[in-house]
Amino acid sequence: MNAESIRKLFAQVRARELSPDDAVAQLRHLPFEDLGFAKIDHHRALRAGMPEVIFSQGKTPAQVARIFKQLAQHGKNVLATRATGAQFQAVKKAVRGAKFEDAARAIVLRRDRVCYGKGLITVVSAGTSDIPVAEEAVITAQLMGNQVERLYDVGVAGIHRLLAHRKAISRSRVVIVCAGMEGALPSVVGGLIGVPVIAVPTSVGYGAAFQGIAALLGMMNSCASNVSVVNIDNGFGAGYVASVINRL
Site for a second copy in 39-58 (CB under 8 A): 39-41, 43, 46-47, 50, 53, 57-58
Q: Is 226 in the site for a second copy (CB under 8 A)?
A: yes
Q: Is 66 in the site for a second copy (CB under 8 A)?
A: no
Distance in Å, CB of 209 to a second copy, minimum:
5
Burial of 47 by CB count in 10 Å (0-12 exposed, 13-18 middle, 19+ buried)? exposed
Q: Is 1 in the site for a second copy (CB under 8 A)?
A: no
State the Cα–Cα distance between residues 208 and 107, nearest whole angstrom. Answer: 33
Which one, 20 or 96, has the nearer CB to a second copy?
20
Q: Pick the binder of a second copy from 62, 86, 103, 164 (CB under 8 A).
A: 164
Distance in Å, CB of 16 to a second copy, minimum:
7
State the Cα–Cα distance between residues 97 and 104, nearest whole angstrom. Answer: 17
Distance in Å, CB of 152 to a second copy, minimum:
14
Count CA within 13 A, CB hemisphere, residue 221: 9
Which one, 53 or 92, has the nearer CB to a second copy?
53
Q: Is 96 in the site for a second copy (CB under 8 A)?
A: no
Amino acid letter for position 223: C
Q: Is 62 in the site for a second copy (CB under 8 A)?
A: no
Q: Do strands 99-101 and 120-125 pair parallel, antiparallel, or not at all (unpaired)? A: unpaired
Distance of CA 58 to the CA centre of its chain: 19
Distance in Å, CB of 96 to a second copy, minimum:
26
Which residues face 177 on adjacent strands?
124, 199
Burial of 157 by CB count in 10 Å (0-12 exposed, 13-18 middle, 19+ buried)? exposed
Distance in Å, CB of 165 to a second copy, minimum:
7
Terminal CA-CA length for the chain: 37
Count CA within 13 A, CB hemisphere, residue 243: 25
Binding mask 185-224 for a second copy (x = CB under 8 A): --xx-xxxxxxx-x--x-x-xxxxxx-xxxxxxxxxxxxx
Q: Is 232 in the site for a second copy (CB under 8 A)?
A: yes
Which one, 98 or 227, has the nearer CB to a second copy?
227
Q: How many residues bind a second copy (CB under 8 A)?
A: 107
Binding mask 99-128 for a second copy (x = CB under 8 A): -------------------xx------xx-
Instruction: Count CB-CB contacts under 10 A for residue 15.
Output: 8
Q: Is 24 in the site for a second copy (CB under 8 A)?
A: yes
State the Cα–Cα distance between residues 159 and 225, nearest whole angstrom. Answer: 20
Which one, 92 or 112, has the nearer CB to a second copy?
112
Which residues face 147 on adjacent strands?
120
Of 73-92, binders to a second copy (CB under 8 A) are: none
